[in-house]
Amino acid sequence: MNRITVPALAVAALLALPAAGNASQSFGSQLKNSPAPGPACVETTPGPCTIVSYINPNADGDPVTSPAPADGVIVKLRVKSAGPETVTFRLATVNKQGDVVLAQGAGVGPTLNLQGTSEIEEFAARVPVAQGQHLALDSPSTKMVYNQGGDEFAYLYAPTLAEGQGPRAPSAEGVGELLVQAVMEPDADRDGFGDETQDRCAAQPSTQGACDTSAPAVKRVRLAGASLRFRLSEAATVRLRIEKRKNGRYVKVRTLTSSGTAGKNSVALGRALPAGRYRVTAVATDAAGNASAAKRFAVRRRH
């Protein structure tokens, strides 16, 4: 009788388990604290400023906030505010040089209408994020901050950070913890949609619904003057190989590539074909990478 040791059984059991997929992750504030009814963002500069989440923890490491742990897509935002406010979500890169925290805009998200109940408010989002980027808000006040005047957990930039601008030093002293949290999901095909709740086909950048596994079809290829006309079942890139019958065999004349839409299409030949019998071999490939089988069509130029 064959004998299997306990370690071998354990290894077999592990191999039988399905591979764990990448899961969604939360980062930013842990939202354990309550916001304070903060003043205007930067009193010396009118209008909103950008509040950038950045941690300089105390000796106990509390409170805790964090930048994005990986590349992905933010699919949900959670915010606490001490009063109603309209703010715009933003991402920022941060480079701390000594006591100066240089920040730069790294992407803009949705505008949020906060009710200001001091409880967690949740908003849907779809914002690509890169590892190490920090959460931020463009806001006219600091009502979304805990512990005003405490340790430096967030920095203020006025006027607001804008795309394309270089790094800037803060416009005021750091304030408390910015009470913003993001939920991010992986984005395997890098199409800007979260793989778990927004993208049903993480393998195809062109598809967010069910994966497209159907190849396009090419139909009714014919000559019309100095062009070749054909039909497509869906939008696709078509490769057309033209061969002329000569002495009982077909000789290649030219190959054309054309981007077509569903329905009628045509591609210019450049110059009309001489009279004779031809065949055209067509292969269509759609945006999802599905390619049709090569299909041949007989065509004829009479004069």
Please determine, for residue 59, whether its predicted confidence score (pLDDT) is greater than 90. Answer: no
- Provide the CA 188 distance to its chain's centre, in angstroms: 9
Higher pLDDT, 114 or 43: 114
What is the rounded CA–CA span in Å between residue 213 and residue 221? Answer: 24
Q: How does pLDDT run across 146-167, given as a tens digit for each residue?
A: 875 555 678 999 999 988 899 9
pTM value is: 0.74
CB 181 within 8 A of CB 53: no
Q: Read off the pLDDT band of 10 (50, 70, 90).
A: very low
pLDDT higher than threshold 70 for residue 21: no
Name the average pLDDT for the chain.
87
Among 169-173, 214-218, 249-253, the minimum mean pLDDT is found in 169-173
Q: Tens digits of per-residue pLDDT, 119-138?
A: 999 999 999 999 999 999 99
Of 136, 146, 114, 162, which is closest to residue 27 (Cα–Cα)? 136
In this prediction, residues 52-66 reach a mean pLDDT of 69
Among residues 133, 138, 132, 131, the alpha carbon closest in space to that of 162 is found at 138
Q: What is the per-residue pLDDT across 73-107, written as a single tens digit (0 to 9) for each?
A: 999 999 999 999 999 999 999 998 888 889 999 99
For 226-235, the pLDDT digits (tens) are 899 999 999 9
- Residue 261: what pLDDT? 97
* For the chain, percent of residues with pLDDT exceeding 90: 66
- pLDDT tier at 225, thresholds 50, 70, 90: confident
The string of pLDDT tens digits covering residues 241-281 is: 999 999 999 999 999 999 999 999 999 998 888 999 999 99
Listed by start position, the domains of the chain span 23-185, 218-301
Q: 147 φ, ψ to 5°?
A: 65, 65
Look up the CATH architecture of domain 218-301.
Answer: Sandwich (2.60)
